[in-house]
């Protein structure tokens, strides 16, 4: 009789333990899921893909990366040809004191000459400048060669995001890391394709 009781108790304990283990498993799932970043958090710090196939000369495409506006501006040869003649008017013409990846340490501050990818925030107090791609006199610069003007405090930048002397902004606009996936698509937030390419 005691053997039967002990066997019944053992079976009851095994069944109770199994049910308890399953219950703990179900209870742990939401707890463990709470540690994972939300879709919103992933988007805020993750990579952002941009398609530039429909971008025309002088146009700006804007996407958001890490809560910041990213400007993608298509420049034509006329705009690019003005860059060397502006060096004497700029605070940092060679972009030596500016934030940009190694690949952007050039005159056009980009991987492809015609496409500028930059953080659309003025380096003075964080306003968002407007693009003025036309080479025409402006109220803020009678000798305007195309570029960016920050309406908050009057900082001006050329079409490569390099800051003009006399502007409140101290450094050139920031170039984020990015990489082209193909001719029309780029990824902002990394300068390497997956797989080490």
Taking Cα atoms as reference points, which of 103, 105, 86 lies closest to residue 148?
Answer: 86
**Structure token digits, residue 175:** 């170039």
Same domain, 86 and 48: yes
pLDDT digits (tens, 9 = 90+) for 97-123: 999 999 999 999 999 999 999 999 999
Say if residue 36's pLDDT is above 90.
Answer: no
Same domain, 116 and 81: yes
- Kindly state the DSSP code that residue 138 receives in the 8-state scheme: B
Taking Cα atoms as reference points, which of 158, 176, 175, 156 lies closest to residue 166?
Answer: 156
CA–CA distances in Å: residue 170 to residues 100, 155, 157, 163: 15, 9, 11, 7
Same domain, 27 and 111: no
pLDDT digits (tens, 9 = 90+) for 165-183: 999 999 999 999 999 999 9
Domain count within the chain: 2
What's the confidence (pLDDT) of residue 150?
96
Same domain, 51 and 75: yes
In a domain, 51, yes or no: yes
In a domain, 193, yes or no: no
What is the pLDDT of the chain when averaged over all its residues? 87
Read off the pLDDT band of 151 (50, 70, 90).
Answer: very high
Same domain, 8 and 57: no
In a domain, 196, yes or no: no
Same domain, 32 and 50: no
In a domain, 150, yes or no: yes
In a domain, 195, yes or no: no
Report the distance separating Cα 124 and Cα 161, nearest Å.
Answer: 13
In order, the DSSP letters of 43-107 are: HHHS-EEEE-TTPPTT-EEEEEETTEEEEEEE--HHHHHHTGGGGGGBSSTT-TTS---GGG-ST
Same domain, 13 and 52: no
Same domain, 91 and 172: yes
Read off the pLDDT band of 197 (50, 70, 90).
Answer: very low
Q: At 186, give phi and psi (nearest 5°).
A: -135, 160
Read off the pLDDT band of 194 (50, 70, 90).
Answer: low
Same domain, 61 and 150: yes
Same domain, 10 and 53: no
What's the confidence (pLDDT) of residue 17?
75
What's the confidence (pLDDT) of residue 7?
74
Report the distance separating Cα 106 and Cα 110, nearest Å.
Answer: 7
pLDDT digits (tens, 9 = 90+) for 53-90: 999 999 999 999 999 999 999 999 999 999 999 999 99
Q: Checking DSSP bridges between strand 178-180 and strand 147-149, what pairing results, if any? A: unpaired
Question: Which of the two residues, 14 and 62, has the higher pLDDT score?
Answer: 62
Question: Which of the two residues, 192 and 56, has the higher pLDDT score?
Answer: 56
The CATH number that applies at residue 117 is 2.102.10.10
Question: Could you tell me the residue range of the domain that residue 55 belongs to?
Answer: 42-188
Same domain, 30 and 87: no
Provide the percentage of residues in the chain whose pLDDT is more than 90.
Answer: 73
Mean pLDDT (whole number) for 125-150: 95
Read off the pLDDT band of 10 (50, 70, 90).
Answer: confident
Same domain, 14 and 111: no
Question: Which of the two residues, 32 and 14, has the higher pLDDT score?
Answer: 14
Question: C-alpha dihedral over 27, 30, 34, 38, to 10 degrees?
Answer: 170
In a domain, 194, yes or no: no
């Amino acid at each position: 009789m005691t053997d039967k009781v002990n066997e019944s108790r053992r079976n009851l304990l095994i069944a109770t333990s199994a049910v308890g283990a399953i219950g703990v498993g179900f209870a742990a799932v939401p707890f463990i899921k709470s540690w994972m970043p939300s879709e919103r958090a992933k988007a805020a710090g993750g990579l952002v893909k941009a398609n530039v196939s429909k971008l025309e000369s002088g146009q700006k495409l804007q996407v958001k990366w890490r809560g910041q506006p990213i400007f993608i501006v298509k420049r034509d040869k006329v705009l690019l040809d003005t860059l060397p003649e502006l060096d004497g008017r700029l605070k940092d013409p060679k972009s030596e004191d500016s934030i940009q990846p190694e690949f952007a340490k050039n005159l056009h501050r980009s991987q492809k000459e015609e496409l500028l990818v930059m953080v659309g925030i003025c380096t003075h107090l964080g306003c968002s400048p407007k693009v003025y791609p036309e080479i025409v006199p402006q109220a803020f610069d009678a000798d305007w060669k195309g570029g960016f003007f920050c309406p908050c405090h009057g900082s001006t930048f050329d079409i490569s995001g390099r800051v003009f002397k006399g502007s409140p902004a101290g450094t050139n606009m920031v170039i984020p890391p990015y990489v082209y996936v193909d001719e029309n698509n780029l990824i902002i937030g990394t300068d390497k394709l997956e797989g080490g390419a």
